[in-house]
Structures are given as structure tokens and as C-alpha cells.
Structure 1
Amino acid sequence: MEDPDVVIVGAGADGPAAAARLAREHGLDVLVLEAGPWHGNSKWPKPHADAGGTVSTNPDDLDGKLMDEQFTHREADANDPTWGYLRVGPADHSRAPWFRNLHQNAFIWQVSAVGGTSIHYFGNHPRAYPYAIDEQPHWPISYEELVPYYQLNEEVTSSQQAPITAKEEVFIEGAKNAGYDLIDTKNVTETGWRPQINSVEVPGRETSNGKPLDSDYDGSFSYDDGFRGDTLVGDHFQGSSTPIDAPVRDKARKSSNVGWVPRALDATADSEMGNVALRPNTFVTNINTVEGAGALEATGVDYRDTWSGRTGTIEADAVVLAAGCIESPRLWLNSGLPDDGWVGRGLTTHWFDWVVGVYSDETIAEINPEARHMDPYVGQNSAVRFDKPGVGGMEDIGMSPGLVSYADYLFTRAGYSFDVEVDPDEPWDTRGYVVGEELKRRMSDYRQTKALLILTDDLPRQDNGVSLDDTFSDEHGAVPKVRWEPHPDDDAKRDELARIAARIHRAAGAEHVHRCDWPPLLLHMQSSMRMGEVLDSNAEARNVDRLFVGDHSALANGVGGPNPTNSGQALALRTADRIADLYF
């Protein structure tokens, strides 16, 4: 596409939503540039071995069966940070991942690809807590203003109550016994538990052979044989292309490449709408500007093809940064744009922790007489949650064995569990690394083990965030240096939530409770290009006209602790409307 109206940098969770809105609602021509590969597109049949095509504009290029081949659903194939198909790095797997300098015990878990990190998310789509927007000084807009965009996003992404399986029944039993009430609204203002709202189509209740999906179902899970919706296989962190044989747009979990990309490309097929073109393997290296009326004005971007190394320039009437909380500020800073002290700063990450419960078969049978085991791999990875506005929340988690062993017992800042004393007043039995024979014993109880993920309402602080490393550069400029450390207030909130999680486990009948005490895991990242500081109420840069931020980095804080995808996409949809109103 030559001379688009808008160029969007990044096709992760939020960029495709903005592109679809700009084209379908406002008739604009939009070019989306993505640094990573594109899975499930016939122009790139071997996305990690061959350069393939250049750009795709046609929804008929999308190929669900090709996606099935490319996403093997094996843990290491998907998630190994050096060579997995879900990594941060060039599509060419003969080359190393892209380097981020992180001088601490922490881990950044992101994906560069069409769909971005949403390719391995659980599909959890809660809304922000209203208080986190309306009752804090960070936000220049109201919660009420976001609600219509939440509703639009929830419709497009098939967001609905997750199905309940045995692991959720155990959590609900514990939450009720601990004295917590059911929350029956999406706009949460009180403490309690509720089923997750997930962007995953519910299982097809009736299939071609007339059998419903229940524990006795023995039919095919293939789309070609009539199966629709989620297969409850719990493979979302590996990419999740189920049901097999389904077209891309009919895959059950509506990650951005499934929910928003097909909708964006549909605009090009409709002569009454604008055009959307999406180009993967294209790393943007510079934002071009000219002197405008009282401020700099964005005119386009420079890019580099990650396969050939060729460079080029795209001119556009507006530029949208949607490269994520690390790469959006990195690009801004590498472009030499003005920095008033908040560019890249104020990063939040929901200061995670992980609290594990191990249960007996007898306890599970008392809660659900039909369940022989809890089987954490059955069902959606996270289908029920706990909310405490002002502190954060937690969600029930079940995953496949390799991820469980890592998350439950091998990711910690506390030291070895056999050498870590536990305060007898704390509600957990052990804390820290579990290794050797003890790890084997714990993993032998895998089918009776589940975890609760703590989601802390950590607030923006200027010393947390992204800057440029003055020591290392790669082919795209100075690499990002990332720093995130918890404040004592964040620690206190996390400890409070961990104690609640342990008590819920106990109230459900857990025989053993283990607190992992995770170091920082930078997965739920928000607010490194905050509205109210770097951006105005339109998400336009205060110091650069026609430059907008349309990803999670524009969120003004961590939205109170709920998973951020729904909020990031809702804000991107609103930003698309503001771009059109201001300049088109």
C-alpha cells in the first residue's frame, strides 16, 4: 500500500483492533507493520524457514489448517525463549532472539508475531476496575467513556462466561467457604469471586453426530466433522489453533490474529470501506517528523525488512505506535523525539505471585462426585477469578505439566524450599524452589494440583520502565534496557492477596499449600507511555502532533489488576475514533 492514511507500528493485541476500526468505521487506508512472523497465512507457509511474501490484504490468505501445522501445541516448541515459535525475535529461526537488557532476577515473556503476546494469552477479558480509572489522578478520561468500547470489543472477541470444570469447582468451593460472595457484574466495585469472562467461544454443545460435549463425549473435535467452539484442551499458552481444521476466524480463542485481523482484512474486500494491508517481518526503526505549527508533526516511518535487510520509508498522515510497552518507547527514544521524563517510565506489571494447592482424590470427589481427579489441563486455562478493588485480584490456573513444574516450583526469588523458614502464622506450608526427589514427588501429584495467580494493583512509578542501553545496539538501534522493582506498597498488596489465595486453598480442602514468591515476570505490562503524561486524552503525543499510541503502554496505570487485554483493545478502538475525528 502506497501513501496510507495511517501507518500502525505493531500487529499485537491492539494494533489490529485500531486498524479495523479506522478502515471499517471511518473508511481510511491503513498499513500495519509487524516485526515478527505471520502464522496461518498462505503467503508465509513456512514462516520460520523462508521469507515468503511481502504483504497481505485479502482475508482469503488466512489458512486455519496451515495454522494447525505451524502450532504444534508442544510446550518447548512454542515457549522456549530462544527458538520457540512464540518468542521475541526475527521469524528466521537461524538467528538469535532480539536482546533486551534486564539487570535483575526477572523474566520478560512476550511474543513478536501477528497477534503479538495475545497468541499465548489465556483469553481472560475482564474490564478494568472502575475505581482504577475514575478515582485515581492518572486517567484523563472516565470509565463510562470506555464502556461502549468494552462492549464492542467483547462482541467481536466472543467474550463470555467460561465453562466450569473440576478445578473451577474446587476454587468456588474454597471461595464460598472462605466467606466470599459471587460478583454478578462486569463493572466490579466490591470484593468477591466470579467466573472469568474469556474471549473464547464456548464448546459446541451439539455436534454433527448429535452428542453433547461432556465427560462421556467420544466424537471428533474437528471443525470439518461439525465441532464448534472451545475443545477444553487447555493449550492456549502454546498458540491454540483448536478446533482443528477450522478457518482462522473460527478458531475458538479470539487472540488478535483470530478476532481482529480477519475483521480488519474484511474491510479491504468491501469497496465501501477503507483498505487494510498488513506486512510482517518489518521492523520500524525511526519515526519521521517535520516542524509543524508549534510542535513536531509525524509524517511516517522508516523500516527494515528482517529477512533481506532492505530498508524503506512509509509516509502517512498519522502514525500509531502499537509495538508494546517495551518497543514503543524504544522506538520513540531511538527516533530522538522529545522526552519530558516520562517516556518509557511508569511501567506496571501486576507484580505477580503464584500460590499452589495440592488436593486428595477424596476431597475432589466430595466437591464433585463425578470427578475422579481435578485434572488441571482440562478446560480453559483460567476460568474463574477473585477481585478486590484497591488491592488487585487472582485467578485460578491450570496448565500442561512442563509449564506447571516451572511456574509452581522453579521460578522464585526465595531460595530453596528446604532451606527457607516459613513463619508459622502464614497460611502456606512451604515457599521457594522445589528440586530433586521432592520435585518428582510433587509432580507425581500433578493431576491434583492447581495454582492461583496473584495480580497486584501495582501503581506507576517513574523509576520503573524502559530506557535505551548506551552499551548495546542491534541492527535496529540501541536496545531497550528494562527495569521494574516493586515498591513496599506493592509488596504489601501482593502479600495480602497471597494470604487470601492460601486461605481459599485451605477452605477448599488442600492438603499442602506452597507459595512460589515469584521474581518479577513482565507479562502483563502497561503504562510505559501513559495517558496523562506522555499522551493527552486523545492518546496523541503531547510533543508530537499526528503521533498516537494505540497499545497497552497508553494505559494510564495497571487498570487495578485485572488482565489488561480488554482494556488495551477498548482504548485502541477509542483512539482510532479520535484519530479520525481530529485529522480525517
Structure 2
Amino acid sequence: MRDVIIIGAGAGGAVVAKELAAHGLDVLVLEGGPRHAHPEQQWSRLENDANNPLSGYFRVGPEDRTKPAFYREFPQNGLLWQVSGVGGTTQHYFGNNPRAYPGVFAGYNGPDRGMYDVRHRFPFSYDDFVPYYEWVEATLPVHTAPMGTKEEVYFRGCETLGIPVQTTKTTLGPSYRPQENAILPPGGKAGLTTDPKQLSYPTSTGCTFCGHCFQGCVSPVRAPRNLVAKRSADNSYIPMALTAHAWSPSGKAITLVSDAMVTKVRTANGAARGVTWRENATGDVRSEDAKVVVMCGGAVETPRLWFNSELPNPNDWVGRGFTDHYLDWTFGLFDHDVGSSRGQVSAARTDYPGYGMIMNVGLMPGIEAFAMTFSDSGIRGHYTNGRGMEGPWDGPTGRLVGPELKAAMGHGIDRILNVVSIVDDDVTPDNRVTLSAMPADEQGAVPKVRFLNRGRTKRSVRNREFLARKATELLHGAGARKVHRMDWPALPLHVHSTMRMGQSETDSVVDASGEARAVKRLFIADNSALPNAVGGPNPTITTQALATRTSEHIMRRYFGGDPWVRTEAPVVSTDDRISHGLIELGL
């Protein structure tokens, strides 16, 4: 019998694996997608090869790319964009790690208290949670992003908004700042040359400004896996967990099994006792027992597995409350080079607590064209789907096609500045994951994700409109000669809250420790456990801090361990760099 079985090796599962293995537990991690152990050979950086949701190496599916992707029913207009495999969706994330706004936590009494989703707060205070943020920030580690041309142009627009520069990690009000992100800073020749011969380890260390964050980070070339620049879970927490024997009291590391889909969480006497999984390559079915099971499959697969395991759902909140930051896209066309394709993809942000945030994004041509042709307002100049919203942007919203798309893209990728709106979206019970009536796959009934833009709360709609106008104001202030707003349909990239933690038993699945209310010894430690949309900031660091906190509760409750997160952040010194993944581990 194992001490702990963790289902999923994404942002949350990797953290739990590292923290529990470091404290001597026998941990088995089961991941449904592949482990890209040699990304320099396995990833091409071609946009379609990476991001095609059916056949790309970043998809939700088995390791064998000749086999179909795992099916999810998504009945509305839109696209559910996630990644399976070791590292999960962090494999293509931008590395942005801002903290949640204090207003989404219990006990907040600021003057803007009523501007948040007051019914669905974290069941503890922001101050109580700060040590967990500090722990993750030091472990990844998190740094202030380096600035480039597009950030200079973005900040020029921010200066016209009448808000100050933010100088603290805690967001206290409307402000702008460089991103806090989990990308190692450039060192050596990185950032000083474009000569590929000099952009390899150890001549260069950290970020080389290649601009390919969305296609997965392999920079600098020949760097050990744990020293690759972007601190996605497969480059940071997983290497730490795999080498936990170097500092754990038991001398154990985790056992990691990839390309293995868990099909059932088994229980006995109201408590989790183990799991059953299927190996994707062979079809073999295996089972193993554990004292504790931790579900970290994400906001879609975790409720799906719960339902397929026929676990109890006494308050009918399993799968409910799906939030996604109600994303929108605004971009400006400039008459000069703004460096959109160069440097870290997103290194500057603007915060509006109570509404959400906006940030710059630089993309390669394929994903840029996708962003311009993705709209809930029909085709500009042809039809509007009853929307076609007018505003300070130039013309109605809607997708660009034909000559207009050619003109925008032909203008040059480096003369486009993108701003994405990330909304503080309300928890809505009708946005949810259920089981589909479509044919089951090898893992059981497939998930159905009901996610409607037009069923949002008035506050979510208000927040989105506010941020789109601020993005337009910023772009005009930065000197854009033309600004387009897309009015994106549902694009769940930041997905949370389907197994939410909460203050009340009536509308939450897990308690304040992360343990399921209906099944003992069963914990949830992925984005689905977030009680709300964290105010709008990117969710990864909040999920990882919450997973750290949940790991602490697992140790204290079931393994007699003392808490290890103190009021001071851990210091990364020469002697303890190995526990933070910052020395060569040969992975």
C-alpha cells in the first residue's frame, strides 16, 4: 500500500508530489497524458504541430499521436483549450504568477469589498495565505519579468490611464507593473545576442527571448531539464519530486507513471482506499491502494472521474461553478515595430481589483491569426449574431476575414500589440461539467462542458466591458492607429472552481483543508478546488500555493507531520538549491 496516490501531474499534482515526497512519504503519481522527457527532440515549435487540439503535442490525449485526442463534449460556440501530460497546461502557459486579489478571501473589509463575488470567497484570509505564496515564489522561483520593446509601448499606454505603478506583490488598487513570472532571468549571453551558437547552456542561462512560450520552453539549448527557463511544472516541481531522495528523511522519490488514465477512485467505509487505472498504450488495467488519494486532473477531468467513480454528491455541487475569466481580446495596429514576436510572451500587466486585469501578449503568426478570427459577434461587415458591439474601438466587434484580415496580418506581426482581458468571473452553478450522453471512451463516460457566454452574471458582463474599454484606451494612448475588439466566445484557458473549496457545505465540494466533504482521505488540489476566479489574475500560483497548503494538511491529518510553511519565505542558498531545483540534476 502506498502512502499517497496523486491523480494528475499538472500544476497542482506536481506540487503535492514534491512536498509529500520531500517529507518522506511513498508517493505514486499517475498522469493520463505523455511525459515529454526530451522536449528538444520531441517538440518542433511549429504552431500547428504544437497546438492543434486534435493532433498537436500539446493536446488532451494519449502519448501516441496517431490515436485520437480524448473527447470532451463542448456544445456551445467556443474552444476548451487545455494540455495533458506531465506538467499539464503549464507546459504552454506564459509563466505569469501574480497573486490573487485580497478581496476574494474571507475577512476582507476593504472599501471595494462589494465589488467581488462575495458569496464565494476563500474560507481563510489573504494574510493567512501569504506564507504559501512566498513558499511557491521562492521554490519556482518567481522573478520580475525583463522588459522589451512591446512592454515599453504597453507602458506608454498605461501612463495615459491615470493609475500608478505597482511596487508590491499584493495588489492594493488599480495599477500597472511588469509581470511577476516563473521564468528564469537571462544570464550569460542570453538577451545580448541572436547567435544560436551562443544561446546554449552554459554560455547562456535563463530566458533567451525566443518568443515561443506557447509552443513549450526548451531554452537555453542543452540546459538540464530543471534549468530550462520557463518554470512549468515539468521543469520545476517534477524534477524536485523525482530527486526527493536527495533530501527526504526516507530517501524516497516519487514513482511517476505517465500515459495512464485513472478510471476509478475506489472507496471503503466512506473513505478513499485506492485507484484503478488503464495504460493507454497497452490497455492493461491496474489497481493500487493508498492511505490518501489526491485528485489533480483539472477542472474537467476531476469532476468527470468523480462521476465515473460513482462517488457521493450530496449537495449537487460536483462539476458546478465553472469559471474561466471570460476572456476577451483587443489589439492595436501600429505604424512602427512594437516587438510583438520577441521576448517573453507576456511581461506587462494592468490590475483593476474588482474587475480583473489586462495584460500584453505577443504571439507567433498562426495563433495571432486565430485570435483575430475568433468571435461571438459574427464576421465584421457581414453579420453580428445580434452582438457586434460598438465602443471606443474602431468599428463593431467581430472576426476579421478576407481583405481586412490580410491587411492586419500583412501589416506585420511586429506591428501588432495585443491586450487580453482576464475577467473576475462569477461562480455560476449552471456553468458546469457533467457526463455526456455521447458514446463512452476507454476511460468511461466522457465529460460534457456547458459554458455559455450569454448566461453570465451582470457583474461578469460589467467587468468584461470595463476591461475592454480600458484595453482600448491603453492601445490608443500607446499610439495605435487602429484598434479592434474581438468579443471572444467561450475560450476556457484559465479554468477553475468545478470542485470548489468553500465556507458553506451547501455550495462546495471540499473543506478548507482541501479534503472532500463527502469522502474522507480524498483531497482535491488542482484548479477545480479554487473557490472563485481569484479576482482575475492568472490562477497558477494560487493553485500551487493552495496545493502546498493542502499538502501540509495531509501531512498533519494523516501522517503526523508538522507544518513546514512558516511565516518567512524559504531562502534559496548554495546549500539548499537542490530542494528548489536550481542546480544541475541531470534530468
**Normalising by the residue count of structure 1, what TM-score does the alignment of the two structures yield?**
0.89
Query: Which residue pairs with 2:537 in the alignment?
Result: 562
Query: Which residue pairs with 1:22 in the alignment?
Result: 20
Query: Which residue pairs with 2:577 in the alignment?
Result: none
Note if 1:312 corresponds to 2:279.
no
**Cα distance, 1:525–1:221 mapped onto 2, change above 3 Å:** farther
How far apart, CA to CA, are the structure 2 residues paired with 1:160 and 1:258?
16
The letter of the residue matching 1:389 is: P
Query: Which residue pairs with 2:368 in the alignment?
Result: 404
How far apart, CA to CA, are the structure 2 residues paired with 1:69 and 1:99?
27
Q: Secondary structure at the match of 2:445?
A: strand
How far apart, CA to CA, are the structure 2 residues paired with 1:191 and 1:129?
11
How far apart, CA to CA, are the structure 2 residues paired with 1:413 and 1:213?
39
Query: Which residue pairs with 1:368 in the alignment?
Result: none
Work out whether residues 6 and 29 of structure 2, in 8 Å CA contact, stay in contact via their aligned partners in 1: yes
How far apart, CA to CA, are the structure 2 residues paired with 1:271 and 1:564?
29
Moved more, 462-471 or 136-145: 136-145
Q: Secondary structure at the match of 1:472?
A: coil
How far apart, CA to CA, are the structure 1 residues paired with 2:401 and 2:302?
39
How far apart, CA to CA, are the structure 2 residues paired with 1:561 and 1:428?
26
Query: Which residue pairs with 1:152 in the alignment?
Result: 135
Query: Which residue pairs with 1:429 in the alignment?
Result: 395
- Residues 214-272 of structure 1: CA deviation (Å, up to 9, x unaligned): 4x664734434511010011111101111111110010000000010001111134462
Query: Which residue pairs with 2:433 in the alignment?
Result: 466
Q: Secondary structure at the match of 1:6?
A: strand
What is the aligned counterpart of 1:125 among 97, 104, 108? 97
Query: Which residue pairs with 2:28 in the alignment?
Result: 31
How far apart, CA to CA, are the structure 2 residues paired with 1:178 and 1:578?
43
What is the aligned counterpart of 1:266 among 235, 240, 243? 243
Query: Which residue pairs with 2:263 in the alignment?
Result: 285
Note if 1:456 corresponds to 2:420.
no
Query: Which residue pairs with 2:473 in the alignment?
Result: 503
Query: Which residue pairs with 2:572 in the alignment?
Result: none
Which segments of 5 or more consecutive residues in structure 2 lack a partner in the other structure?
A: 109-117, 503-507, 560-587
Alignment of structure 1 residues 199-238 onto 2, 5 Å: 199-204=182-187, 206-207=188-189, 213-214=191-192, 218=195, 220-238=197-215
The letter of the residue matching 1:186 is: K
Alignment of structure 1 residues 333-482 onto 2, 5 Å: 333-339=307-313, 340-361=315-336, 373-407=337-371, 409-419=372-382, 426-445=392-411, 446-482=413-449
Query: Which residue pairs with 1:365 in the alignment?
Result: none
How far apart, CA to CA, are the structure 2 residues paired with 1:449 and 1:157?
31
Moved more, 465-474 or 104-113: 465-474
The letter of the residue matching 1:20 is: K
Query: Which residue pairs with 1:244 in the alignment?
Result: 221
Q: CA shift at 1:444, angstroms? A: 1.4
How far apart, CA to CA, are the structure 2 residues paired with 1:555 and 1:431?
32
Query: Which residue pairs with 1:579 in the alignment?
Result: 554
How far apart, CA to CA, are the structure 1 residues paired with 2:17 and 2:46?
32
What is the aligned counterpart of 2:52 among 76, 80, 85? 80
Work out whether residues 34 and 114 of structure 1, in 8 Å CA contact, stay in contact via their aligned partners in 2: yes
Q: CA shift at 1:543, angstroms? A: 0.7
Work out whether residues 428 and 502 of structure 1, in 8 Å CA contact, stay in contact via their aligned partners in 2: no
Work out whether residues 465 and 482 of structure 1, in 8 Å CA contact, stay in contact via their aligned partners in 2: yes
Query: Which residue pairs with 2:565 in the alignment?
Result: none
How far apart, CA to CA, are the structure 2 residues paired with 1:10 and 1:513?
41
Q: CA shift at 1:27, angstroms? A: 1.4
Query: Which residue pairs with 1:11 in the alignment?
Result: 9
Query: Which residue pairs with 1:299 in the alignment?
Result: 273
Moved more, 144-153 or 519-528: 144-153
Q: CA shift at 1:417, angstroms? A: 1.2
- Residues 19-73 of structure 1: CA deviation (Å, up to 9, x unaligned): 111111x211111000000002xxxxxxxxxxxxxxxxxxxxxxxxx32111111
RMSD: 1.5
How far apart, CA to CA, are the structure 2 residues paired with 1:526 and 1:223?
37
Q: CA shift at 1:551, angstroms? A: 0.5
- Residues 289-341 of structure 1: CA deviation (Å, up to 9, x unaligned): 111xxxx1100001100110000111000000000000001101111111121
- Residues 137-159 of structure 1: CA deviation (Å, up to 9, x unaligned): 42212212221111111112121
**Cα distance, 1:163–1:224 mapped onto 2, change above 3 Å:** closer
- Residues 5-32 of structure 1: CA deviation (Å, up to 9, x unaligned): 00000001110111111111x2111110
Which segments of 5 or more consecutive residues in structure 1 lack a partner in the other structure?
A: 41-65, 362-372
Aligned length: 534
Work out whether residues 221 and 243 of structure 1, in 8 Å CA contact, stay in contact via their aligned partners in 2: no
